[in-house]
């Protein structure tokens, strides 16, 4: 369920609610409810805390040990939860139309909305859906590309290779190889769409997409408009970046392979999904040798262990005045890929036992990219720890984008000065050229990511609403990739393929707009935190490392959980009630100037 992000952030949330359950019928006729609304919510909170422990344990074991047995255990736990939730949502109907205290009303609304995967009201279908959802995530986690029986490469390894290779054909092999995992998901996904929509329909939503969009303290239609507005704000910056990158890739691979008036081949951007392009920084570095941003080589020469990398992230949060992570974090987390079994390597942060048992699950590699993912994941953990004293129904972020934005905000403070201070680079230059270099490095991840993070759910919204029919799943995916990102697959991708399934969040049933919003919010947060920290000068040069004042304000926002509308939380930190991309645009103003110069005379667009 959506607000079980309080349990696990950015991972499979197969917990479900349904409108009414056949097993626990409740008479909703005019008689007053047996419990007051406050009593009902108190009971919901108690039962939720109890159930969450069991589900958390089953899910953790499933994700760190993928077998047929753990699939049974996890699906059963989720089914149990779903049944409980169905009953609670049905019981909550008794309070419809009553005048309730605002917090009580909010708790009831969140209970009703609190699922990313609503199951139908039919016991057999509920079981079927929890099993399909568990299976789909397992197929992703266990996915590998095999040249033959003895030569298989895991997803995590392939991801690494995509960042390292510069050989056109080799990249194409990894790219197409990874996408062999998803065609077998296609039929299951189609059935999952039918079932989740049935579940969402029983809750009063047109389809699951509409239900996901309803979780933002505004109407689904207004929210869709908000995402479009934010995209329009940032698109001009993306277009300049696309143009500059395409030109350089044309030099590297030849203009016969990278046509200068069309989309970029999707396998040349250093990333399996072309979502973040930081691995082609060497190609794009504006002023070679101008500043030392090579954290990768420090990690290798100093031979950082996964634990040391995590410690570095923890130290940052501690510098803001936050607590050290509990001992159990260090003993219970999964930092490395186990050699002897399948696990879900896709990074996630877990707040088990009501936020008292924090963990991350990763397969950490010795790269700067992964280091930043660790900082990102700990942002989730610190959020989970901050709201742990809220009642369980309020134990989640203000909206899903806030959860993703905490760690992302912190990574903005990984300035050259900070990296030097903690020994991750040898020198820190502050020349104008060094600033542009760092901006390029950041934009390759942050700006390149925006259209991708916008389109993933646009595809799903279309799929759930029926606008995208099953026979067009792949075509619609590539149409959106072309429209937003200006990229194209290296080979023909007909409907025998199911390329969306090769991205974790599709089989994992994790909504994606959260990342789009986070990429914008993080700059808004940073602008305010830097002001609080007393930073003067360019925002891009600000690090809040060591600022207890900024840390206090950040923590205060996190500790509210989802007890209030996100607009209130945003206002307390930033003074505004609107998400706004001007902060990211201002941040990258120096790079925008550089890109425009570079692109002068080029025929941009695709």
Contact stretch for Zn ion (CB under 5 A) within 9-17, 138-146, 240-248, 537-545 = 9-17
Nearest residue to ligand X8Z, using CB?
10
| Spatial distance between the Cα atoms of 237 and 573, rounded to a whole number of angstroms | 26
Query: Cα-flanking dihedrals φ and ψ of residue 320, to 5°?
Result: -85, 0
- Asked if 166 and 252 touch (Cβ cutoff 8 Å), the reply is yes
10 touching ligand X8Z, by CB under 6 A: yes
Q: Which residues, numbered 364-393, are part of the site for ligand X8Z (CB under 6 A)?
A: 373, 376
* Residue 348 C-beta: closest distance to ligand X8Z, Å: 6
Residues 388 to 407: which contact Zn ion by CB under 5 A?
404
- By the rule CB under 5 A, 351 interacts with Zn ion: no
Minimal CA–CA distance to 286: which of 239, 241, 236, 238? 241
List CB contacts of 336: < 8 A, sequence separation 6 or more. Answer: 306, 363, 364
How many of the chain's residues bind ligand X8Z (CB under 6 A)? 7
Q: How many residues bind Zn ion (CB under 5 A)?
A: 2
Q: How far is the CB of 407 from Zn ion (least distance, A)?
A: 7
* Cβ-based nearer residue to Zn ion, 481 or 514: 514
For residues 137-156, which are near ligand X8Z according to CB under 6 A?
none
Q: How far apart are CA 172 and CA 260, in angstroms?
A: 20
Q: Where are the alpha helices (DSSP H) in 533-588?
A: 548-559, 566-574, 582-587
With helix as H, strand as E and coil as C, how does 423-486 read? Answer: CCCCCCCCCHHHHHHHHHHHHHHHHHHHHHHHHHHHHHHHHHHCCCCHHHHHHHHHHHHHHHHC
Task: Tell me the two tokens of residue 158.
Answer: 């392939």
With CB cut-offs between 5 and 8 Å by kind, which of Zn ion, ligand X8Z, none does residue 387 bind? none
| 554 touches 573 (CB < 8 A) | yes
276 lines the binding site for Zn ion (CB under 5 A): no
Looking at the Cβ atoms of 244 and 517, the one nearer to Zn ion is 517
In 118-166, which ranges are continuous DSSP H helix?
123-141, 155-164
Given ligand X8Z, Zn ion, none, residue 347, with its beta carbon under 5 to 8 Å by kind, binds ligand X8Z
Q: Which two tokens stand for residue 79?
A: 């089914």
Q: How far is the CB of 10 from ligand X8Z (least distance, A)?
A: 2
Of 113, 122, 133, residue with least CA distance to 208: 113
Please identify, using beta-carbon distances, which residue of 343 and 374 lies nearer to Zn ion: 374
CB nearer to ligand X8Z: give 52 or 275: 275
Active site residues per annotation: 346-347, 376-377, 380, 404, 505, 515
SS3 per-residue string spanning 270-283: CCCCCCCCHHHHHH
Structure tokens belonging to residue 78: 């989720």
Q: How far is it, in rounded angstroms, from Cα 95 to Cα 101? A: 12
Least separation, in Å, of the C-beta of 350 and Zn ion? 11
By CB under 5 A, what part of segment 404-423 binds Zn ion?
Answer: 404
Q: In the set 2, 3, 9, 378, which binds ligand X8Z (CB under 6 A)?
A: 9
Alpha carbons 270 and 279: distance in angstroms, whole number: 5
**Smallest separation, CB 32 to ligand X8Z (Å):** 43
Of 267 and 372, CB closest to Zn ion:
372
Backbone φ and ψ for 487, nearest 5 degrees, come out as -125, 160
Is residue 513 within 8 Å of residue 401, measured between CB atoms?
yes
Report in angstroms how near the CB of residue 11 gets to ligand X8Z at its nearest.
7
d(CA 591, CA 356): 42
How far apart CA 138 and CA 91 sit, in angstroms, is: 33
* Of 94, 433, 11, nearest in space to 1 by CA: 11
**Cβ distance to ligand X8Z smaller for residue 10 or 160:** 10
**How near is the Cβ of 287 to ligand X8Z at its closest, in Å?**
28
Which of Zn ion, ligand X8Z, none does 515 bind, CB closer than 5 to 8 A by kind? ligand X8Z
Binding to ligand X8Z (CB under 6 A) within 281-310 occurs at: none
Report the partner that residue 66 touches, choosing among ligand X8Z, Zn ion, none (CB closer than 5 to 8 A by kind): none
| Cα dihedral across residues 304, 306, 307, 309: positive or negative | positive
* Piece of the chain touching Zn ion by CB under 5 A; list 3-11, 91-99, 532-540, 587-595: 3-11
**CA 513 to CA 467: how far, in whole Å?**
19
Query: Rounded to the nearest whole angstrom, what is the least distance from the CB of residue 330 to ligand X8Z in the complex?
Result: 20
Q: Which of 5, 6, 8, 10 contacts Zn ion by CB under 5 A?
A: 10
Smallest distance, ligand X8Z to C-beta of residue 376, A = 6
Radius of gyration over every alpha carbon of the chain, rounded to an integer in angstroms? 23
| Complex with Zn ion: residue 514 or 535, whichever CB lies closer | 514
Residue 200 or 450 having the CB closest to ligand X8Z: 450
515 belongs to the binding site for ligand X8Z (CB under 6 A): yes
Give 539's contacts (C-beta < 8 A, 6+ positions apart): 526, 527, 530, 583, 586, 587
Q: Smaller CB distance to ligand X8Z: residue 498 or 515?
A: 515
Q: Which of 131, 296, 319, 348 binds ligand X8Z (CB under 6 A)?
A: 348
Site string for Zn ion, 522-551 (x = CB under 5 A): ------------------------------
In this complex, which beta carbon is closest to ligand X8Z, that of residue 381 or of residue 547?
Answer: 381
Segment 80-99, which members bind ligand X8Z (CB under 6 A)?
none
Is 347 one of the binding residues for ligand X8Z (CB under 6 A)?
Answer: yes
The count of other CB atoms within 10 Å of the CB of residue 194 is 13
Find the residue with minimal CB distance to Zn ion: 10
Residues at the site binding Zn ion, with contacts judged by CB under 5 A: 10, 404
Residues at the site binding ligand X8Z, with contacts judged by CB under 6 A: 9-10, 347-348, 373, 376, 515
């Amino acid at each position: 369920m959506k607000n079980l992000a309080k349990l696990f952030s950015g991972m499979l949330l197969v917990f479900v609610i349904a409108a009414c359950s056949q097993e626990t019928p409740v008479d909703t006729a005019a008689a007053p409810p047996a419990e007051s609304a406050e009593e009902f919510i108190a009971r919901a909170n108690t039962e939720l805390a109890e159930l969450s422990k069991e589900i958390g344990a089953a899910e953790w074991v499933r994700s760190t040990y993928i077998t047929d047995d753990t699939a049974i255990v996890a699906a059963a736990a989720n089914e149990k939860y779903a049944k409980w939730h169905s009953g609670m949502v049905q019981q909550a109907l008794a309070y419809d139309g009553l005048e309730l205290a605002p917090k009580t009303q909010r708790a009831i609304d969140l209970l009703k909305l609190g699922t990313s995967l609503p199951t139908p009201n039919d016991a057999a279908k509920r079981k079927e859906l929890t099993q399909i959802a568990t299976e789909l995530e397992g197929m992703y986690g266990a996915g590998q590309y095999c040249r033959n029986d003895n030569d298989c490469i895991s997803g995590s390894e392939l991801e690494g290779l995509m960042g390292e290779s510069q050989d056109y054909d080799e990249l194409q092999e990894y790219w197409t190889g990874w996408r062999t995992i998803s065609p077998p998901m296609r039929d299951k996904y189609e059935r999952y769409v039918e079932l989740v929509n049935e579940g969402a329909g029983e809750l009063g939503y047109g389809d699951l997409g509409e239900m996901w969009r309803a979780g933002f303290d505004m109407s689904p239609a207004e929210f869709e408009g908000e995402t479009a507005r934010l995209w329009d704000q940032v698109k001009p910056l993306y277009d300049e970046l696309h143009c500059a990158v395409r030109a350089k890739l044309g030099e590297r691979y030849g203009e016969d392979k990278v046509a200068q008036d069309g989309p970029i081949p999707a396998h040349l951007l250093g990333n399996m999904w072309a979502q973040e392009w930081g691995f082609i920084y060497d190609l794009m570095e504006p002023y070679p040798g101008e500043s030392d941003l090579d954290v990768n080589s420090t990690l290798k020469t100093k031979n950082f262990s996964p634990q040391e990398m995590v410690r570095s992230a923890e130290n940052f949060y501690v510098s803001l005045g936050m607590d050290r992570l509990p001992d159990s974090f260090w003993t219970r987390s999964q930092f490395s890929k186990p050699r002897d079994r399948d696990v879900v390597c896709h990074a996630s942060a877990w707040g088990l036992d009501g936020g008292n048992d924090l963990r991350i699950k990763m397969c950490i590699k010795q790269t700067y990219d992964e280091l930043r993912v660790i900082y990102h994941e700990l942002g989730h953990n610190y959020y989970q720890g901050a709201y742990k004293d809220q009642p369980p129904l309020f134990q989640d972020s203000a909206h899903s984008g806030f959860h993703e934005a905490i760690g992302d905000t912190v990574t903005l403070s990984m300035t050259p000065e900070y990296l030097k201070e903690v020994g991750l680079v040898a020198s820190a230059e502050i020349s104008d050229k060094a600033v542009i270099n760092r901006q390029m490095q950041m934009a390759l991840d942050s700006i390149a990511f925006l259209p991708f993070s916008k389109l993933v759910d646009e595809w799903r919204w279309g799929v759930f609403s029926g606008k995208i029919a099953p026979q067009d799943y792949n075509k619609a995916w590539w149409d959106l990739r072309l429209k937003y990102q200006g990229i194209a697959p290296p080979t023909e991708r007909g409907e025998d393929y199911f390329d969306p399934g090769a991205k974790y969040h599709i089989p994992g049933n994790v909504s994606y707009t959260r990342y789009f919003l986070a990429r914008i919010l993080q700059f808004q947060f940073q602008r305010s935190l830097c002001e609080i920290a007393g930073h003067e000068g360019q925002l891009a040069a600000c690090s809040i490392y060591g600022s207890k004042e900024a840390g206090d304000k950040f923590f205060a926002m996190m500790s509210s959980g989802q007890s209030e509308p996100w607009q209130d939380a945003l206002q307390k930190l930033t003074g505004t009630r609107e998400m706004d991309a001007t902060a990211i645009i201002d941040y990258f103003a120096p790079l925008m100037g550089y890109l425009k110069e570079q692109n002068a005379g080029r025929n941009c667009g695709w």
